[in-house]
């Protein structure tokens, strides 16, 4: 079974805006098939809304292409999740809890307090890269 991880929006945005950064390196592992992205309609809506913000300067064709590629991975039904300090983060935790791996990759682990993770593993991009490099 493939690894099935949830990517927080900040990881997706950074992967596009910083082609030589750690998030882009994570996308290289995604393209190589080392893991798949788990998503829900709420997550895809947030990706779409955030990526279209004028401050990022991303063109509609680039955004449409990325969302199309991401949507080919695993659509999951969100699991019940505890309330988080920022309610907008809850769909990501709910999706992670609905996957066998229960992994959420984020640039902001503080947004997911350990006491409210309900057993999900919330890891940084660097931790994800280290895991993928060690476990293929």
Mean pLDDT of all residues in 84-92: 96
Report how far residue 73's alpha carbon sits from residue 90's, in angstroms, rounded to the nearest whole number.
20
Both tokens of 96, joined, read 């992670």
Give 77's DSSP letter: P
pLDDT digits (tens, 9 = 90+) for 119-135: 999 999 999 999 999 99
Domains, the chain, in order of start with CATH, read 4-135 (3.40.50.1010)
Copy the structure tokens of residue 42. 């709420």
pLDDT 10s digits, 17-43 = 999 999 999 999 999 999 999 999 999
């Amino acid at each position: 079974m493939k690894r099935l991880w949830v990517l927080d929006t900040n990881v997706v945005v950074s992967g596009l805006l910083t082609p030589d950064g750690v998030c882009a390196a994570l996308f290289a592992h995604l393209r190589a098939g080392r893991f798949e992205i788990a998503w829900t309609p709420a997550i895809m809506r947030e990706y779409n809304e955030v990526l279209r913000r004028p401050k990022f300067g991303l063109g509609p064709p680039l955004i449409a292409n990325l969302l199309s590629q991401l949507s080919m991975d695993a659509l999951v039904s969100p699991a019940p999740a505890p309330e988080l300090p920022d309610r907008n983060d809850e769909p990501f935790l709910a999706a992670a809890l609905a996957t066998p791996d229960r992994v959420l990759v984020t640039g902001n682990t503080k947004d997911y307090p350990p006491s409210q993770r309900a057993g999900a593993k919330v890891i940084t991009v660097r931790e994800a890269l280290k895991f993928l490099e060690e476990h293929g």
